[in-house]
Chains A and B, each alone.
Chain A
Amino acid sequence: MGNSPEGTAVQKDRSQERQKQMIADHFTRLSKAEDLGEKCVYTFVPGNLTELLLSFDIAPVLPEINALQSGMRGKSREYISTAEKLGHSEDVCTYVKCDLGMMKSGNVGPTGERLPPPGLLLLSYTGCFTFLKWFEILKQEYDCPVSMLHVPYQGEGRVTDSMREYVVKQLKEKVIPSLEKLTGKAYDEDRLKELLARSARAEDDLVHVLESAKHRPSPIDAYFGGVYYIGPIFTAFRGTEDAVEYYKELRSEVDERVRLGKGPVTPDGELDKERFRIVVEGPPNWTHFREFWKMFSDEGAVVVASTYTKVGGVYDYGFRHDPDRPLESLAEYCMGCYTNLNIPSRIQMLNRYMKEYEADGLLINSVKSCNSFSAGQLLILREVEKATGRPGGFVESDLVDPRYFSAANIKNRLESYFQMIEQKRGGGA
């Protein structure tokens, strides 16, 4: 999430340079981990337990991030093809196939450095069934244990005591012992608390940044730009001093943009005129990230809120990691991630975004790979249109399979969609 899409230079703020360096340093650390005897754990973004891992001095490796980075770097086609040749179906998640293909091709990560094998597969089974199968597949490839953390789904739109107790119990009885065994270190709750306190500070600043899009013009793009903003907090840095500094710096940059009345930075520089304010549901396409973004910015469309930026944690409803309730707080974090919310809760969130961010419409980018996101999106679209009276648009692509990005088709649809918003405005006038 932290690198320039498709290798094209874009205008960068100081915070972006800092983030780029943080990510580069992390991958360098990973490349040296085996030689230095550092322990590495593979885990997933939604429901990640970064603070817990860091409290054991473990370096997290996130296969989804590697896959999306491969997509941005034009490597995913080859990796997916490798996996499909090995018998993996064309119907299933391309993150899985991209990751497996990368592993089979030498496990060279996004920065060109080799990734270490996992000491443990921490299967945080949060909001996505495929995670379970993904690590079952990796278990066949690596000689390492798996620690399963089953995070219950919010089917009834709430977290019950028994759900919380279930996750906490698993943390205590499964996850923590597996980390102790891997590292030979005892669980240090005080250290975890320190990390969680730093997480909460960074989360405050992240929410401030995301909510800055309520201004007119919005100083940020909360989807295409948003994926950069969420990078550190969704991955290996939540709980670190680096993350605190990054978000502090980002916040002050965004505040400055607000003060100056500036729009967001796009692939073509600063956006002069905000014509459309859009809420986006669904993950981005990574193989044509910049091209996709330009389809919006060329039309003066700014994404003012997105659900994808909540996939690794929903913070704008008030949740913060709480050092006073470390394990309970981690459990609540896991259960609160966006794809762990039921469809009515997702609709409610989108309605709220439409209203609070004064959006002109909802656009859904439906990705073939991700049933967790995609199944139900057509109903979501209708319900949000019904509740808000604002028009909805729908485009289809994929996460990292370039075969499913039809640029002309998507551009056509987007242009028609923006025209429709325009006409509605005219009609209203």
Chain B
Amino acid sequence: MTKRLNELVARAEMLNQDYTLPEVRRWKATTGGLAIGYMPVYVPRELLHSQGVLPVGIVGAGADLEIIRGDAYYQSYICHLPRSTIELGLNGSLDCLDGMLFPATCDVIRNLSGMWKMLFPEKLSRYVDVPQNFDPETGGAFFRAELEELCADLTVRGARAFEPDALRKSIETYNENRKLVRSLYEQRLAEPWRLPTHELYLFLRAGLAMPVEEHTAMLGEYLEETTLCTDRVPMDQARVVLTGSFCEQPPIGLIKTLERSGCYIVDDDFIQIHRWIRSDIPSDGDPFDNLVQAFLADSIASPIRYIDEDVKGQELCDRVRHCEAEGVLFCAPSFCDPALLDQPMAVAAVEAAEIPWTSFKFSENSGQFQVIREQAGTFADSIKLWSGR
């Protein structure tokens, strides 16, 4: 590991551990702009950026924050993410945010949008509905109207008014960021030992709470440094695709555990907003329409997105083939409706394609990984020893 790589990793680690969003506070102090939080999975960050707003991804608090008040708002059978988000809100960690956006991910995040209105009435709190009808004239028109309302709300709060050229530039800025994320994923696919997932994950997550331009520079440097690393050598590990963690994120210890148990994670759905739109969004023409069209026609297949004509689980099987993976890890958060209701259909698809799989659940504050380590280790061993691949 190079000295610079060490420094980069340490910085990403620090940014992930500091719940008080230091980069956001610094940005606000420098620019005086608005910072708006957003929950998983998808919001069009380009639009906020074009209005001079810093979009800040909030994906809970991970394993280390003690949840005291957050638990008082949720029954035991609700996932962990909203508890830690409320905890962060109530303990002042999110004070630097001028508002929060709650996309149409599930009923829990949807209802949290209304809870936020009650708990933080002085802040902007908005539910961002996304269409499940993908016809540009129908779902597209609705989505555009939703986003126009969002623009207007931001302007009322002090953001710049919408301006097409600004959006064009923001689209290009995010295209650059997405391109680098894709490069990192391709690099990991080719040489997973050079970009261990527990490390790549830190960089993806750190990017949620810093300006996109800085994140892009950080990713570029990280990609470069990993190619200089000569002490990272391939090991006899099973190549797996991990799926189910698109909203609440597993603790970093769990990702390390999976890798140490003999798995190379060659594709995943962590911090999915970086890859929700598959390719570059055109910046010419009507940029608003381009943004809407990208959501309608170029989004990934996700359990939170209705699949009309396509076959459930097909995209997962395609990803497995593309990655030359040897198996699938279904790794969903406990009580996550979208992931867990989707899982049996995805399992049926991978079984039909004769792809080995195993499944387990986690919560962002899980602290014991021994059972999962044994399960994943056995799974990796079984692939290596018996699958004949």
Contacts and interface: CB of A to CB of B under 8 A. Distances in A.
A281 to B, nearest CB: 13
Contacts, number: 161
B135 A173 contact: yes
Contacts of A379: 73, 115, 118-119
A252 interface: no
A129 B338 contact: yes
Instruction: Pick the most buried of B77, B82, B112, B312: most chain A CB atoms within 10 A of its CB.
Output: B77
Interface string B285-326: 000000000000000000110111000100000000000000
B1 interface: no
A20 interface: no
Contact of A166 (B142, B304, B307): B142
Instruction: Pick the most buried of B114, B304, B334, B340: most chain A CB atoms within 10 A of its CB.
Output: B114
B335 interface: yes
Contacts of A140: 312, 345, 348
Given A96-B341, A343-B117, A375-B78, A130 B107 contact: yes
B197 interface: no
A188 interface: no
A162 B292 CA distance: 15
Nearest to A398: B77
Contacts of A81: none
A166 B73 contact: no
Nearest to B340: A89
Given A133-B337, A140-B312, A170-B133, A375 B111 contact: yes
A130 B118 contact: no
Contacts of A139: 312
B110 A89 contact: no
B138 A91 contact: no
A28 interface: no
Interface residues of A, number: 54
A91 B77 contact: yes
A371 B142 contact: no
A347 interface: yes
A195 B127 CA distance: 35
A318 to B, nearest CB: 22
A149 B212 CA distance: 36
A377 interface: yes
A155 interface: yes
A93 interface: yes
Interface of B is mostly: helix
A155 B110 contact: yes
Interface string A126-162: 0011101110110110000010101011011000101
A378 interface: yes
A152 B127 CA distance: 11
A157 to B, nearest CB: 8
Nearest to B149: A160
A39 to B, nearest CB: 22
A153 B344 contact: no
A296 to B, nearest CB: 21
A383 interface: yes
Interface in A77-127: 86-89, 91-93, 96, 123, 125
Interface string B63-88: 00000000011110110001000000
Contacts of A153: 104, 110, 127, 129
A372 interface: yes
A414 B24 CA distance: 47
Given A166-B138, A366-B75, A155 B129 contact: yes
B344 A374 contact: no
A148 B308 contact: yes
Contacts of B312: 136, 139-140
Given A89-B343, A150-B131, A150-B132, A162 B73 contact: no
Given A152-B142, A155-B113, A366-B75, A342 B337 contact: no
B353 interface: no
Given A89-B340, A166-B142, A378-B74, A128 B345 contact: no
18 contacts: A88-B341, A133-B338, A136-B341, A140-B348, A152-B142, A155-B129, A160-B149, A162-B141, A342-B111, A342-B113, A342-B117, A343-B118, A371-B108, A375-B108, A375-B111, A376-B114, A376-B115, A379-B118
Interface of A: 86-89, 91-93, 96, 123, 125, 128-130, 132-134, 136-137, 139-140, 146, 148, 150, 152-153, 155-156, 160, 162-163, 165-166, 169-170, 173-174, 342-347, 366, 368, 371-372, 374-379, 383, 396
Given A92-B341, A133-B337, A383-B118, 7 more contacts: A96-B341, A125-B132, A136-B342, A156-B127, A166-B138, A342-B127, A371-B107
